[in-house]
Amino acid sequence: MALSKHASAAGVQLGMRSGSVQMLLPEAMLRQYDSEQEQASLQRVATTLLQYSPQVAAAGPASLLMNIGASLRLFGGVRQLRRCVLNSMALLGISATLSYAPNAAAAGLLAHAANAYGRRGLYCLNPMRLSRRLDPLALSLLPAATPWRDWLQGIACHDLKSLRQLPRAGIQRRCGKDLLSQLDYAYGVATELHQWLEVPAEFIARIELPERIEQAEALLNYANALLQQLSGWLRAKQLAVSQIQLELEHERGRLAVAPSQLTITLAEASWQAEHLARLLKERLAQLSLTTPVMALRLHAMQLVAMQAPSASLFPEPSGSPQQQHRLLELLVARLGADQVLQTLPQADYRPEVANHWIAAIPSQPKARATAQLPHAPTAMMNRPSWLLAEPIPLELRQHRPYYRGALSILSPPERIEAGWWNGQLVTRDYFIAENSEHLRCWIYHERISVAQHTGQQDADAVWYLHGWFG
């Protein structure tokens, strides 16, 4: 059915018996042909190709057809598109022969001819030159000519050009309509209809590993194949994924081990396999396997509609929102979700409770309403860049608060009274102050202080440092 270049150089040919192959090449490795595995591989490749064109169809044994007419401008031309397809095939572990032509049948003939000649592909995009490209091809490339090969060779008909020169009426009476139909499809005389691939409603892909893998980082190459399929499925459905789950399957049978699950949550939904692979690489680098992995299973957990790219003429100096979200996702994958936090404002005037820290990328993202702060004067917005976890008591020197030198008050007081509803009343007058080193800080004075509650007379002594300005 198929052979490597090394076997071909040793004289092995298609259709040989196993004994003849062993005689010519004793070290040859023979594998049993598995049609089901071949169909599964074709299905994986077809799903992957959906990221380059929405129209992909089967075109015979071990062959796929892709309509790229609407994709050339998007990917920057046929050469760039061909390079992208070859990169995806390499990630899938598939060696492919690529050819393109103005119609599907001609592209298929060129691909099979290139495969027979040992070339990577034959190409023709100009319809005016298509006949000159197809005429020298062997007649055996037409599937409908196989039953009549001996008869056609007997009348010196070896290529497509000589077949076209024969009387059509006589060929139809002798060989039927299929041979002429395939010839007309190839030369663009007739239009061929195709059954395009229909993708399933849910994406779940699984791949068997060729051997037991004990290092987590070695799983990335096989996971890339699943991510390529996911990218094609998302493009076909016009969706983006915000959470994926990679399941690592271990031993089965009597020594069965429950599968391990690796969940990746994104700050912004994406459909690009390269970005997902980068996040997965960071997670696998931190994973230690206790038992070998035998198979991988990828599931798209949370899906959203695909958003159109930004059409802004002038890019933002700090990068696009997509770039900022990708950086955030990369930091979470490398440092952990508990090390990357974001603020969640609370509707409270007290500085120590006006903000709550939450995970930058929640494991279960859900819509939440942003807290609406009450209307406040402009002076209230003058908050320090660094708020201390606990206020620091200040000493008084000559009736002035002191911290690394005497503090000079620069602003009128800003009064905050809140917390009476939960028994944590604060009554403070905040000031912006500056020390002898010209560092500005945020201090406050307790109006109803602990000293007053305890009966002390010097209530003005209760001053606190609460933050520093940048």
d(CA 101, CA 103): 5
Domain count, the chain: 3
Give the separation between CA 115 and CA 143, rounded to whole angstroms. Answer: 15
> Does residue 179 sit in the same domain as residue 232?
no
For residue 152, give the H/E element and its range: helix 149-154
In a domain, 255, yes or no: yes
Contact 24, 12 (CB under 8 A): yes
Distance (Å, rounded) from C-alpha 230 to C-alpha 273? Answer: 7
Q: Above pLDDT 70, what percent of the chain?
A: 90
Residue found under tokens 């062993």: 22
Say which CATH number the domain at 230 has.
3.30.1490.100
Lowest mean pLDDT among 25-39, 86-100, 328-342, 353-367: 353-367
What confidence tens digit (pLDDT) does each residue in 443-464 have?
998 876 544 544 544 445 589 9
pLDDT of residue 462: 83
The beta strands (E) that lie in 96-238 are given as 204-213
Report pLDDT for 376: 45
| Cα separation, 103 vs 66, whole angstroms | 10
Q: Are residues 231 and 165 in the same domain?
A: no
243 and 134 part of one domain: no
CA atoms of 183 and 296, how far apart (whole Å): 44
**273 and 129 in one domain?**
no
Q: Which two tokens stand for residue 77?
A: 């031309």
Q: Which residues contact 305 (CB under 8 A, 6 or more apart)?
A: 238, 239, 240
Does residue 220 share a domain with residue 138? no
Range of the domain at 461: 385-468
Contacts (Cβ under 8 Å, ≥6 apart) of 152: 139, 145, 158, 163
Q: Are residues 135 and 250 in the same domain?
A: no
Looking at the structure, do residues 251 and 162 belong to the same domain, yes or no? no
Same domain, 437 and 328: no
**Segment 144-197, tens digit of pLDDT:** 888 888 888 888 888 999 999 999 999 888 888 999 999 999 999 998 899 999
Report DSSP letters for 167-199, one per residue.
-HHHHHHHH-HHHHHHHHHHHTSSPPP------
Tell me if the pTM is above 0.75. Answer: no
Write down the pLDDT at residue 338. Answer: 81
Q: Of 82-91, 265-274, 373-382, give the lowest mean pLDDT range.
A: 373-382
- For residue 247, being part of any structural domain is answered with yes
Question: Model confidence over 404-441: pLDDT tens digits?
Answer: 889 999 999 899 988 888 888 889 999 999 988 889 99
Flag whether 97 is in a domain: yes
Examine residue 379 and state whether it is found in any structural domain, yes or no. Answer: no
Cα separation of 144 and 161, whole Å? 16
291/347 same-domain check: yes
